[in-house]
Amino acid sequence: TAGITQAPTSQILAAGRSMTLRCTQDMRHNAMYWYRQDLGLGLRLIHYSNTAGTTGKGEVPDGYSVSRANTDDFPLTLASAVPSQTSVYFCASSADPDGTDTQYFGPGTRLTVL
């Protein structure tokens, strides 16, 4: 079972360019999440989706957008990248958003914005 896959593995992006980070899960989980991980700050929630067709803002949503057209995919888009968005991005999913199910994480995308 693949679980959660993310693409690309890493990317160097010029400031001002747009980019979409892809996330796909094959567990039929209802809830999906995007986090960024920065040294000294831990994991911070960017956006989430409790079920297909719905999304919400997390702790640090500015500069990012998401969509959830179906259960499996939850892409994260940076419309105009800035250097402060240099980070490692993790996608996660859980069966339900109600706290009774564990969040499982993908392998991450390392993004560098120059």
Partner 1 sequence: GESVGLHLPTLSVQEGDNSIINCAYSNSASDYFIWYKQESGKGPQFIIDIRSNMDKRQGQRVTVLLNKTVKHLSLQIAATQPGDSAVYFCAESPSYSGAGSYQLTFGKGTKLSVIP
Contacts with partner 1 by CB under 8 A lie at: 4, 31, 33, 40-45, 48, 50, 56, 58-59, 90, 92, 94, 97-99, 102-108
Toward partner 1, which CB reaches closer, 26 or 98? 98
Q: How far is the CB of 69 from partner 1 (least distance, A)?
A: 19
Quote the Cα angle for 9-11-12, to 5°.
160
Separation of alpha carbons 66 and 96, rounded Å: 19
Toward partner 1, which CB reaches closer, 17 or 57? 57
Toward partner 1, which CB reaches closer, 59 or 82? 59
Residue 58 contacts residue 43 (beta carbons within 8 Å): no
**In which element (H, E) is residue 37 found?**
strand 31-38
